[in-house]
Structure 1
Amino acid sequence: MYGYFGTMKAKPGHRDAVVEILVSGAGGLKAAGAHLYVVGVSDTDEQTIFVNEVWESKEHHDASLQLPETRAAIATAMPMLTGEFSSTEARIVGGLGV
């Protein structure tokens, strides 16, 4: 399994709208090969959004980024983001929920 763990920063006042976009698309990810998709925020940082994903494979993850609904969500969210992103990829070896 493939893990993708990332952060993004929203422009001031836009974090909740970006989170809503990210969470609204979660329903279709299971069919695309996602085992886990979690969006989180901090109570002390009003800009950073955390996204943790576990996929059947990196290929499944990459293919999900080409889905029309994913591309539309990205296009809607991008103007609300600062452009500051971080990401880590991992080979998932086990754990609760996977």
Structure 2
Amino acid sequence: MPNGNMFSVYGRMTALPGRRDELAALLVEGLRAGGEDSGLLAYTVNTALDDPDTVWLTQLWVDKDAHDATTRSEPVAAVSRRVPPLLARQPEGCYGHAVHVHCPG
């Protein structure tokens, strides 16, 4: 696992009622659109146990430049443009730097 300046993204999205699974599938499609060598180390799309409309997204990148280049690429941007019509409200989230990463082997 690379060390140093890893960049992280945490987000919460609230789908329109009954559209959560469609939103989650679209987020996975966006991951695939970024390609294998994008600098993305980990990507999780999680559904909330206590809210049938909430999706949590977590990303870990080698650095911010890799994140910016990938998310601004046309294949990822094309998928991202399909997200807003599925949302009940603006996404919430934050950016950071990973302090510790452990992947049991």
Same fold (TM over 0.5): yes
Match of 1:85 among 69, 87, 91: 91
**Uncovered stretches (5+) of structure 2, i.e. residues with no partner:** 1-5
Larger Rg: 1 or 2?
Answer: 2
Query: Residue in 1 aligned with 2:10?
Result: 5
**Uncovered stretches (5+) of structure 1, i.e. residues with no partner:** none
TM-score (norm 1): 0.87
Match of 1:36 among 42, 64, 68: 42
Please identify which structure carries the higher strand content.
1
Amino acid at match of 1:63: A
Mapped partners of 2:54, 2:99: distance in 1 = 27
TM-score (norm 2): 0.82
Provide the identity percentage.
27
How far 1:44 sits from its partner (Å)?
Answer: 2.0
How far 1:77 sits from its partner (Å)?
Answer: 1.8
Q: CA RMSD in A?
A: 1.5
How far 1:86 sits from its partner (Å)?
Answer: 1.3
